[in-house]
Structures are given as structure tokens and as C-alpha cells.
């Protein structure tokens, strides 16, 4: 395969994956509409199942209960698909409870879900929740991530770590050691 053929194939695959991502949310949304109707209208009884959950576990359906309830949650929270069109399924599910609790922040949360990676979105939502609840004296959580070279943890310093349980002089001694060791 020539480099031009490889580049064309890469772009073709990229475009198809992008289209599949968009259609995945549409399919998830449509599934939510249908399983909500089955649940609400109790169609599962008419079909001879003991419960909604047993209907979902039918081999022809085989929808995990959590996925069904997530899909229903998406439909109930966003009655107009257009509002979330283009998001990933995962980011849409991630903002559900925040949108329900903070209806006034709905547009901002959807925009965050549209533009942030799943890890950045979760980090931002956690920070917002901690700041709103005023938990501790932390103003913002550091973004912690893995070093691409060694796999260790990056994004946090000694000052950001909890020192509860350490004697103040021990914490000060450790901080001094770290500062001296890495100051060179």
C-alpha cells in the first residue's frame, strides 16, 4: 500500500468512525424512547414477561438494565434529540444528573459534553460539585494523569496532598526534603 493509499484509507476510516459515533447516540436515544414506552405502557406484561427487567434480558433484546435506564434518562432529560445531537453516548450519560440538578446550567453542561474528553468532563463536574458544596478548603482539584514516559502519576504536588495524620513538623520535614531533592 502506497503512502497516498494509506492516507486515503486513514481519512476514510476516520470519517466513518465519526459518522458511527453520531449514529450511536441516535440509536441509543431511540432505544431509550422504545424501552421507556415498553416500561410505561407495560408492554412487557402483554408479551408474557414477569417484569420489565426480565423483558430486557430476553436473548432477542439483551439490553443491560443499566443501559436501558440510562437511555430512558437521556430521553427524559433531553426530550428533543436536537439538543444533544453530536455528543457521545458516554458524555451524554455523564452530564445527566448534573443537568437534572442544575437546569439553569443545562446549555453550559451540554457545551462541556460537546467539547471535553470524558476524563476532562468528569474532572470539571467533580470540581464544580466540590466547589458548590464547599468541601474542605480546596479551591480546585488538580488534573491528575499518567506520565506517557514512565506511567507514573503527574499533576499533583506535595502541597496538594492531604497531610492529615502527619505531625506538622513531619509534614514540614518531608516538604523540605522534596524541595531540596528536586531543587537541583
Q: What is the pLDDT of residue 118?
A: 92
Listed as own residue / partner, the contacts of 30-37 with beta carbons closer than 8 Å and 24 or more positions apart are 31/63, 31/67, 31/68, 31/71, 32/68, 32/70, 32/71, 32/72, 32/73, 32/74, 32/75, 33/75, 35/63, 35/68, 35/71, 35/72, 36/71, 36/72, 36/75, 36/76
Residue 149, all three cell numbers: 514516559
The residue to which cell 497531610 is assigned: 163
Residue 141, all three cell numbers: 482539584
Q: What is the pLDDT of residue 139?
A: 58
pTM above 0.75, yes or no: no
- For the chain, list residues with pLDDT below 70: 130-145, 153-161, 181-184
Residue 173, all three cell numbers: 520535614
Of 93, 100, 148, 81, nearest in space to 121 by CA: 93
64, 93, 120, 122, 132 from 112: Cα distances, Å: 27, 13, 9, 10, 18
CB contact at 8 A, 24 and 67: no
Q: What is the pLDDT of residue 37?
A: 98
pLDDT tens readout for residues 22-59? 899 999 999 999 999 999 999 999 999 999 999 999 99
Amino acid at each position: 500500500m502506497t503512502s497516498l493509499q494509506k492516507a486515503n484509507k486513514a481519512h476514510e476510516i476516520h470519517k466513518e468512525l465519526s459518522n458511527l459515533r453520531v449514529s450511536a447516540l441516535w440509536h441509543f436515544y431511540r432505544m431509550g424512547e422504545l424501552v421507556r414506552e415498553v416500561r410505561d405502557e407495560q408492554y412487557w406484561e402483554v408479551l408474557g414477561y414477569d417484569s420489565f427487567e426480565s423483558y430486557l434480558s430476553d436473548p432477542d433484546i439483551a439490553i443491560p438494565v443499566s443501559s436501558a435506564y440510562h437511555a430512558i434518562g437521556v430521553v427524559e432529560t433531553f426530550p428533543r434529540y436536537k439538543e444533544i445531537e453530536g455528543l457521545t453516548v458516554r458524555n451524554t450519560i455523564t452530564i445527566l444528573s448534573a443537568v437534572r440538578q442544575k437546569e439553569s446550567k443545562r446549555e453550559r453542561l451540554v457545551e462541556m459534553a460537546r467539547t471535553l474528553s470524558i476524563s476532562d468532563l468528569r474532572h470539571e463536574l467533580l470540581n464544580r460539585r466540590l466547589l458548590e458544596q464547599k468541601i474542605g478548603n480546596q479551591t480546585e482539584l488538580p488534573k491528575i494523569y499518567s506520565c506517557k514516559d514512565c506511567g507514573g502519576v503527574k499533576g499533583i504536588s506535595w502541597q496538594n496532598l492531604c497531610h492529615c495524620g502527619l505531625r506538622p513538623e513531619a509534614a514540614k520535614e518531608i516538604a523540605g526534603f522534596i524541595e531540596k531533592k528536586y531543587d537541583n
